[in-house]
Amino acid sequence: MSSSVNELVHWNASRLSEALVAKVVSSEEVTQAHLDRIAAVDGPAETGVHAFLHVAAESALARAREIDADRAKGAVLGALAGVPIGVKDVLTTRGMPTTCGSRMLQGWVPPYDATVVRELHAAGLVVLGKTNMDEFAMGSTTEHSAYGPTRNPWDPTRIPGGSGGGSAAALAAFEAPLTIGSDTGGSIRQPAAVTGTVGVKPTYGGVSRYGLVALASSLDQAGPCARTVLDTALLHAVIAGHDPYDSTSIPADVPDVVGAARQGASGDLTGVRVGVVTELSGEGYEAGVTARFTEAVALMREAGAEVVELSLPNLVHALAAYYLILPSEASSNLAKFDGMRYGLRVTPEGEHVTAEQVMRATRAAGFGDEAKRRIILGTYALSAGYYDAYYGSAQKVRTLVQRDFARAFGQVDVLVSPTAPTTAYRLGEKLDDPLAMYAGDVATIPANLAGIPGMSLPAGLSDDGLPVGLQVLAPQQADDRLYRVGAAVEARLTAQWGGPLLARVPEWKGATA
Amino acid sequence: MSVISRSEVEHLARLARIDMTDEELDRMAGQLGAVLDAVAQVASAVTDDVPATSHPVPLTNVTRPDVVRPGLSAADALAGAPASEDGRFRVPQILEEDA
């Protein structure tokens, strides 16, 4: 493997798109460049970035050649046709393994594509493979993947965030210009924050959940991840929209996210009302995180935004409510992994082994610690005698959180906060302290409880040299506001920095085993 | 400190159909106690007059036209099965007694 890096892997999706349309490059060249990059930095699992669980080199190149041939014939193709993409391993892919980061689904090849994946194929994107994640999307570090953690390209000893750490790290390590994530409590936004990339959790119901293996059905949302706000918008436009295969899909037009990103790129926020959330700052937030956040807010003011501070008092209970609602829904959703119809089956020794014994042995072997913890917690919260105090109360908190947001969005267009209270911590640091890990989700969780859209974009580097994320939140079905504000902040910050933040990510040298 | 006993965890693990070792039960009891302590505040955060929200988007009874459309073939549906026979999933015995 040559040590020189093919320049194509540093190009953003929008630049690749223009070059592909102009036939300056072919999709085959672009795809090969990314496959080479993956081969150079992603493995081995013990020391590489390990953003991918499965690389589909052959099918990717075949698809790229198809797109090139279509383009040569003069076919009208989508804006992102021929651009490579990584897909979080929580979305089903026909003919391509889907494990959800779990032993339970090792070797499983789904018989159908998720709607999001079908949309990617229809738009001509080239699927490079499946990205690593915490098991069944439960975790904030990817350490809960049964196949080993992903490493943060900024520092291989640190977490890439989670659960979608693979999708974020693949972007920051230039293994893919675009990836798909899923966000139940921050699994798109927190990895984006700690890797210096962009990620959006769309409005609940804005992107189909069909084929997204369910963790918590009332909170899960698939969404786009990229290195720039415009790229994220281009991908958002491909995957969003009503899907009759998902009964919770919103039957409405998708906001013009690409137009909003282009509008925001001027850097002007005149007339935009921005609310700084009192409860999502201060105590518990690292000084370096607070400093970058405060600067970003000042920048929005310079850009013409009216900035006010707003209190959403019930957000202080959001984390607690979430860690009751999520395990409750998860314990129910994960009941389907019983070793009967697909996935792992473990049969204990002995005669007359019953189905129930097989289920218990299969689930003992197939689920990791974090999955088991949440299943047991959910089973407890839903049991008779505790239901009202725990699950019932948590659902009421959810109402109060929604009311707080409704009140706030009566006064401002968007809300902002740091995405996460800390920068990337060390792998292993919080592995045996689930509560400490959960606390990192404090700023992202409220959006999932309320079903509103949220974005994380790079706000700069903290004193430790690691990326800090700025979170922008908007009302349901106003995803376009995230892109307008995000693009304006991005334009001003990159002008200040003299280039994108990711230009400063060190060249990957690998972890020491 | 919310106390969740080892035997309670054992009962929950049985309900959730997960075999657990003694070591796992001990560890899980400690960790669940700590998590329950942290989340118990929800009960005091709300009052009786607050309605519960189960879902962020108020959509009810979403249906589609009742027309036949293609689904998975039996072969596709069985392709990932741990065991199958005669076009069906093959499973261990469900009743305790011999058939």
Q: Kindly provide the ipTM of the predicted complex, given to two decimals.
A: 0.94
Can you tell me the mean pLDDT for A449-475? 98
DSSP codes of every residue in A218-233: TT--EEEEESSHHHHH
| B21 inside domain | yes
Can you tell me the mean pLDDT for A448-472? 98
Q: State the total domains in chain B.
A: 1
- Could you tell me the pLDDT band of residue B61, with boundaries at 50, 70 and 90? confident
| B17 inside domain | yes
Residue B3 has a pLDDT of: 76
pLDDT tens digits, one per residue of B21-38: 999 999 999 999 999 999
| B85 inside domain | no
Q: Residue A484 is encoded by which pair of tokens?
A: 């307008």
Q: What residues pair up with B84 in beta bridges, in sequence order?
A: B89
Q: Does A102 touch chain B (CB under 8 A)?
A: no
Q: Is the pLDDT assigned to residue A139 strictly greater than 70?
A: yes
Can you tell me the mean pLDDT for A452-458? 98
pLDDT tens digits, one per residue of A311-349: 999 999 999 999 999 999 999 999 999 999 999 999 999
pLDDT tens digits, one per residue of A182-237: 999 999 999 999 999 999 999 999 999 999 999 999 999 999 999 999 999 999 99
- Could you tell me the pLDDT band of residue B99, with boundaries at 50, 70 and 90? very low
Q: Is the pLDDT assigned to residue A433 strictly greater than 90?
A: no
Q: Is the pLDDT assigned to residue B53 strictly greater than 70?
A: yes
Can you tell me the mean pLDDT for B36-55? 92
Residue B2 has a pLDDT of: 63
Q: Which one is predicted more confidently, A513 or A70? A: A70
Report the CATH number at residue B15.
Answer: 1.10.20.60
Q: Does A343 touch chain B (CB under 8 A)?
A: yes
Can you tell me the mean pLDDT for A396-400? 97
- Could you tell me the pLDDT band of residue B95, with boundaries at 50, 70 and 90? confident
Q: Is the pLDDT assigned to residue A141 strictly greater than 60?
A: yes
Q: Does B48 touch chain A (CB under 8 A)?
A: no
Closest residue in A to B39 (Cα) is: A320
Can you tell me the mean pLDDT for A111-123? 98
Residue A384 has a pLDDT of: 83
Q: Could you tell me the residue ranges of all domains in chain A?
A: 26-314+401-503
Q: Is the pLDDT assigned to residue A290 strictly greater than 50?
A: yes
Chain B positions touching A451 (Cβ under 8 A) are: 56-57
**Chain B from 16 to 45: CB within 8 A of any A CB:** 16-20, 24, 28, 31-32, 34-36, 38-43, 45
Min Cα distance A177 → chain B (Å) is: 31
Q: Is the pLDDT assigned to residue A5 strictly greater than 80?
A: no
- Flag if A476 and B56 touch (Cβ within 8 Å): yes
> Residue A392, class by beta-carbon neighbours within 10 Å (0-12 exposed, 13-18 middle, 19+ buried)?
middle
- Distance in angstroms (rounded) separating the CA atoms of residues A244 and A222: 16
pLDDT tens digits, one per residue of A380-389: 999 988 899 9
The sheet carrying A52-55 orders its strands as A52-55, A126-131, A84-88, A178-182, A222-226, A198-201, A454-461, A467-473, A414-418, A273-277, A306-310
Average pLDDT, rounded, for chain A:
96
Q: Does A345 touch chain B (CB under 8 A)?
A: yes
- Could you tell me the pLDDT band of residue A512, with boundaries at 50, 70 and 90? confident
- Flag if A342 and B38 touch (Cβ within 8 Å): no
| B20 inside domain | yes
Residues above pLDDT 90, as percent of chain A: 95
Q: Residue A384 is encoded by which pair of tokens?
A: 């008779």
Chain B positions touching A390 (Cβ under 8 A) are: 39-40, 42-43
Query: Which domain covers residue B30, as residue numbers?
Result: 6-45
Q: Is the pLDDT assigned to residue B7 strictly greater than 70?
A: yes
Q: Is the pLDDT assigned to residue A1 strictly greater than 50?
A: no
Q: Is the pLDDT assigned to residue A473 strictly greater than 70?
A: yes
- Distance in angstroms (rounded) separating the CA atoms of residues A167 and A390: 33
Cβ atoms of A64 and A132 within 8 Å: the answer is no
Residue A3 has a pLDDT of: 47
Measure the CA angle with vertex A420, ends A408 and A486; round to 5°.
60
| B72 inside domain | no
- Flag if B32 and A367 touch (Cβ within 8 Å): no
- State the fold for domain A26-314+401-503: Amidase signature (AS) enzymes (3.90.1300)
- Distance in angstroms (rounded) separating the CA atoms of residues A494 and A274: 21
Min Cα distance B85 → chain A (Å) is: 12
Residue A284 has a pLDDT of: 93
